Structure 1
Amino acid sequence: MMSPAAGASPELRAVLFDMDGTLTDSERLWTIALDRVAAHYGGALRPETREAMVGQDMWATIGLMHRELGVDGTPEATARMLTDHTLQIFHDGLPFKDGAGELLAAVKAAGLRTALVTATYRNLVEVALDTLGHRTFDVIVCGDEVSRNKPDPEPYLRALELLGLPAQDCLVVEDSPTGSRSASLAGIGVLVVPSEIPVPEAPGLVFAETLVGIDVDRLDQIHSTLLGARV
């Protein structure tokens, strides 16, 4: 794609995707792993505590679990246990969210750049790529590759840096309040498809109930709408 002429609106050149709950139904699988770890500690997570974990990185999630269950053990021990359970579950198969596989294929076929920006750590992402495709993304930013995770803008700013593109040339696809805020703070417009919990309306966000039926033309329209709203 050619760069826009002077004075023209920037064109959509890249789509940045969250993973858990956006492209894959892994939030449900995370719940299974978290429940197993909680049971090991002799308790169970309240629904509101699990809700607060959505979109958070591993250490924030473990902190919430330890406070909820009164765990005296080290976060590192819980992290190892949670990672082992999650790896086993991911290896058994990671289902796409409805419409996600088709949208990824359409974005790639259109020649747009792609990025995966996730709070999940690299060792788990490598397993997820067995489903998503190891060549699907031009850029991958994982939760253990940034110093500040979502909702801080650092993950998305890092993805922009690796893509070599400005925020105005990109669109993010997210499912959580945490991820949507991260992208917005990075200056990127967001298509929000809520998964586990509602996402409050805010400037820079466009909502859809599902990725089914979303194609590149629709992404272009959303990108243009969000850019126009900034004028």
Structure 2
Amino acid sequence: MTTPLTTTTGSSLGFELEAVLFDMDGTLVDTERNWFATETAVMADLGFTLTARHAEYLLGSPMERAVAYLLSVSGLDVPPAELEHRINAGMVAQLRDGVELRPGAKRLLAEVDDAGVPCALVTASQRVIVDAVLPSIGAHHFRFTVAGDELARTKPHPDPYLTAARRLDAQPWACVVVEDSPTGIASGEAAGCAVLAVPSMTPIPPAPTRTVVQSLESVDLEFLRDLTRARVAR
């Protein structure tokens, strides 16, 4: 684990956490396995077998990128829009009965909420998936949500997190991005935010630009505040 630089308790050296920007799949809800299971089932119906070696690339990928990859590795002659529709339909069917939150997510969301720190949900998933998952997470935790099909460029580009920070009237360096995938982490780092990585299906190596924990159970509001202090101090 990479430990954030801390200051004396209660001292923020004039810098304060302005917003928390949460990824969705694999970070707050345990849906990454649903995604890969759905993609595997859809591709099997089309005559191609996905294996574990494909999972790392697909993890956290926006739909357009995932579909392009699936068609490239399979060589299937299927319209991208059709493959996208099949995957989304399969996911919505799986999510209809609710989805399990990852350990510590419910408590952390409530703690950030109670402190009045603004939050946004920033995901590469399309709006249809966001709307299916939000009831399980609790839409009231977020000022707004940003879906992958609502921007010209989504993750790993910095645009989603820069857009969220701007809408919250927050400086990127005073925001903490909470992510689980290499794609999302790259987006948060490119935006200049403090990044907290909570790996789900793929290991995330420590780096100077991120802090890695194994579970949100070890994270509280003061931990998030320390991340922005450390980001400014570097």
What amino acid sits opposite 1:200 in the alignment? P
1:220 partner amino acid: R
- The reply on whether 1:123 has 2:135 as its aligned counterpart is no
Measured after TM superposition, the shift of residue 225 of structure 1 is 2.2
Measured against aligned partners, the alpha-carbon deviations of 1:102-138 in whole angstroms (never above 9, x if no partner) come to 1111110111000111000011101111101122101
Correspondence 1:178 to 2:145: no
Match of 2:167 in 1: 162
8 Å CA contact 1:177–1:200 kept in 2: the answer is no
4+ runs deviating over 6 angstroms: none
Counterpart among 188, 193, 196 of residue 198 in structure 2: 193
Q: What is the Cα-based RMSD across aligned positions, in Å?
A: 1.4
Q: Could you tell me how far 1:167 is from its partner in structure 2?
A: 1.1
Q: Could you tell me which amino acid in structure 1 is paired with residue 67 of structure 2?
A: I
Q: Secondary structure at the match of 1:56?
A: coil
2:32 matches 1:27: yes
**Count of residues in correspondence between the two structures:** 223
Q: How much has 1:23 moved relative to structure 2?
A: 0.4
TM-superposed CA distance for 1:203, in Å, is 2.5
Please tell me whether residue 223 in structure 1 is matched to residue 228 in structure 2.
yes
CA distance in 1, matches of 2:156, 2:187: 4
CA contact (8 A) 2:28 2:105 kept: yes
Q: 1:100 aligns with which of 99, 105, 108?
A: 105
CA contact under 8 A between 2:173 and 2:231: conserved in structure 1?
no
How far apart are the structure 2 equivalents of 1:195 and 1:165? 28
Q: Could you tell me which residue of structure 1 aligns to residue 7 of structure 2? A: none
1:49 matched residue in structure 2: 54
**Cα distance change on mapping 1:204 and 1:9 into 2, 3 Å:** farther
Change (3 A) 1:198 1:213: closer
Per-residue CA deviations over 1:62-110 (Å, capped at 9, x if unaligned) read: 1111122221010001111111100000112211011111111111011
Gaps of 5+ in 1: 1-6
Q: Does 1:72 align with 2:77?
A: yes
Secondary structure (helix, strand or coil) at the match of 1:212 reads helix
**Which residue of structure 2 lines up, in the alignment, with residue 90 of structure 1?**
95
Distance (Å, rounded) in 1 between the aligned partners of 2:188 and 2:227: 15
Q: Secondary structure of the equivalent of 1:24?
A: coil
CA distance in 2: counterparts of 1:31 and 1:53, whole angstroms: 8
Offset from partner CA, 1:174-227 (integer Å, 9 cap, x none): 111111111111110101111111223332201111111311112112222232
| Cα offset, 1:8, TM superposition | 4.4
Q: Deviations over 1:42-62 (max 9, x none)?
A: 121121212101111011111
Find out whether 1:11 has 2:6 as its counterpart. no
The CA distance in 2 between the partners of 1:122 and 1:10, in whole Å, is: 34
Mapped partners of 1:64, 1:109: distance in 2:
41
Write the letter of the residue equivalent to 2:217: V
Mapped partners of 1:40, 1:61: distance in 2: 17
TM-score, length basis structure 1 = 0.92
Give the whole-Å Cα distance in 1 for the aligned partners of 2:226 and 2:69: 39
If the length of structure 2 is used for normalisation, what is the TM-score? 0.91
SS of 2:192's partner is coil
Alignment pair present for 1:148 and 2:148: no
Q: Within 1, Cα distance between the matches of 2:95 and 2:220?
A: 27
Post-superposition shift, 1:35?
1.4
